[in-house]
Structure 1
Amino acid sequence: MGTTRRIHALDGIRGVAALVVVFYHLTLVAQPFIDPVSWAWLTQSPLKILTIGTESVLVFFVLSGLVVALPTLRDGFSWLAYYPHRLLRLYLPVIASLVLAAVLIAVFPRDPAAVAEGSWLRDAQASEVSLGRFLLEGSLYPASYDINNVLWSLRWEVIFSLALPAFVGLALALRKHGVALAAACCGLTVLGRVLQIDALVYLPVFMLGTVMALNLERILEWSARVQRPWLWPALAALAGLLMIASQLAQPLFGAESLGNELLWGLAGIGAAIVILLGIAWPRLRAKLESRPIQWLGRISFSLYLVHAPILGTLGFLFGDGFWWAVGPVGVPLSLAVAALFHRWVESPTQRLGRFVGRGVARAAAPARPRTTEQPERSSRERQYT
Structure 2
Amino acid sequence: MPRARSIPSLTGVRGVAALWVFMTHFYGLAADMLHQPWMLNSLFLFNGFRGVDLFFVLSGFILMHVHEGQFVQLRWHVIRDFFIIRFFRVYPLNTFILLALVPLVLFAPGYVAMQRHYTDPAFAYRAHNLSVAGFVQTLLLVQTWTVLKLGEWNIVSWTLSAEVLGYILFPLLAMAAMRIASLRSAVAVCAASLVTLVAILFVCHHANNNPTGTFGAIRMFFCFTAGIVLYRVYNLAPAGTERHGAAITMGAVAFIALTLFFPVVPVCDVFGFTALIFGLAYQRGVINTFLSSAPVMWLGRISFSFYLAHYLIIGILSWAMGQWLRNLGSVGSMTATVAIFALCLLVGVVCYHLIERPSQRLGRRVMQWVEARDARAGVQRIA
Q: TM-score band (shorter)?
A: 0.7 to 0.9
Distance 1:75 1:202 in 2: 22
Checking the alignment, whether the CA contact within 8 Å between 2:252 and 2:273 is kept in structure 1 is no
In the aligned structure 2, how far is the partner of 1:327 from the partner of 1:220?
48
TM-score, normalised relative to structure 2:
0.78
Q: 2:252 — aligned with what? A: 235
Q: Within 5 Å, which residues of 2 pair with 1:149-168?
A: 149-168=155-174
Q: Which moved more, 1:28-37 or 1:176-185?
A: 28-37
1:204 aligns with 2:222: yes
Deviates more, 1:126-135 or 1:272-281: 126-135
CA-CA distance at 1:299 after TM superposition: 0.4
Give the aligned residue type for 2:301. Answer: R
Unmatched segments (≥5 aa) in structure 1: 251-259, 373-385
Alignment of 1:82-231 (within 5 A): 82-105=82-105, 110-111=110-111, 112=113, 129-143=130-144, 146-176=152-182, 177-196=185-204, 198=215, 199-217=217-235, 221-226=239-244
Q: Distance in 2 between matches of 1:35 and 1:189?
A: 37
- Report what 2:360 is aligned to: 350
Count of paired positions: 349
Structure 1, residues 259-313: CA drift from partner, whole Å, max 9, x if none?
x4xx454232222123223323422111111111111111000000111111111
Measured after TM superposition, the shift of residue 317 of structure 1 is 1.0
Question: Secondary structure of 2:15's partner?
Answer: helix
Distance 1:220 1:110 in 2: 60
Q: Is the 8 A contact 2:30 2:337 kept in 1?
A: no
Alpha-carbon distance between aligned partners in 2 of 1:64 and 1:214, rounded to the nearest angstrom: 14
Question: Which secondary structure state, in structure 2, belongs to the residue aligned with residue 141 of structure 1?
Answer: coil
Preserved CA contact (<8 Å) 1:13 1:297: yes
Distance (whole Å) between structure 2 residues aligned to residue 321 and residue 125 of structure 1: 26
Secondary structure of 1:110's aligned partner: helix
- The aligned counterpart of 2:67 is 72
Question: Residue 376 of structure 1 aligns with which residue?
Answer: none
CA drift of 1:321 comes to 4.3
Question: Contact 1:239–1:274 at 8 Å: present in 2 too?
Answer: no
Larger Rg belongs to? 1
Q: Residue 220 and residue 93 in structure 1: after superposition, are their counterparts in 2 closer, same or farther (change >3 A)?
A: farther
Q: Residue 316 in 1 paired to residue 319 in 2?
A: yes
Change (3 A) 1:220 1:151: farther
Deviating 4+ runs (over 6 angstroms): 31-37, 113-117, 122-128, 369-372
CA separation in 2, counterparts of 1:23 and 1:201?
21
Q: 2:47 aligned with 1:52, yes or no?
A: yes
Shift of 1:113: 6.9
How many Å separate the matches in 2 of 1:58 and 1:147? 21
The CA deviation at 1:161 is 0.2
Gaps of 5+ in 2: 72-76, 205-213
In 2 relative to 1, CA 336–287 (structure 1 residues): closer, same or farther, beyond 3 Å?
same
Shift of 1:344: 0.5
User: Is the Cα–Cα contact under 8 Å of residues 116 and 127 in structure 2 kept in the other structure?
Assistant: no
Q: Judge conservation of contact 1:14–1:300 (CA < 8 Å) in 2.
A: yes
Task: Pick closer, same or farther for the CA change 1:124–1:316 going to 2, 3 Å.
Answer: farther
Q: Which residue in the other structure is 1:381 paired with?
A: none
What whole-Å deviation, never above 9, does each CA across 1:343-367 have from its counterpart, x for those lacking one?
Answer: 0100011011112223333434561
Offset, 1:192: 2.1
Letter aligned with residue 222 of structure 2: P
Cα displacement (A) at 1:109: 5.5
Checking the alignment, whether the CA contact within 8 Å between 1:303 and 1:335 is kept in structure 2 is yes
Write the distance in 2 (CA, Å) between the matches of 1:79 and 1:4.
24
CA contact (8 A) 2:24 2:49 kept: no
Paired with 1:8 and 1:92, the residues of 2 have a C-alpha distance of 25
Q: Could you tell me how far 1:331 is from its partner in structure 2?
A: 0.7
- Tell me the amino acid that sits aligned with residue 147 of structure 1: W
Give the CA RMSD over aligned residues: 3.6
After TM superposition, list the pairs within 5 Å mapping 1:31-50 onto structure 2. 38-39=38-39, 41-43=41-43, 48=44
User: 1:221 and 1:158 mapped to 2: Cα distance?
Assistant: 35
Distance 1:188 1:114, change over 3 A: closer
Aligned to 1:16: 16
What's the counterpart of residue 369 of structure 2?
359
Q: Which amino acid aligns with 2:85?
A: H
The answer to which of 357-366 and 218-227 deviates more is: 218-227
The question of whether the paired residues in 2 share the 8 Å contact of 1:104 and 1:309 is answered with no
Deviations 1:151-173 (A, max 9, x none): 11111100100000121122122
- Aligned counterparts of 1:220 and 1:17: Cα–Cα separation in 2: 29
Q: Equivalent residue for 1:295? A: 298
* C-alpha separation in 2, matches of 1:220 and 1:322: 56
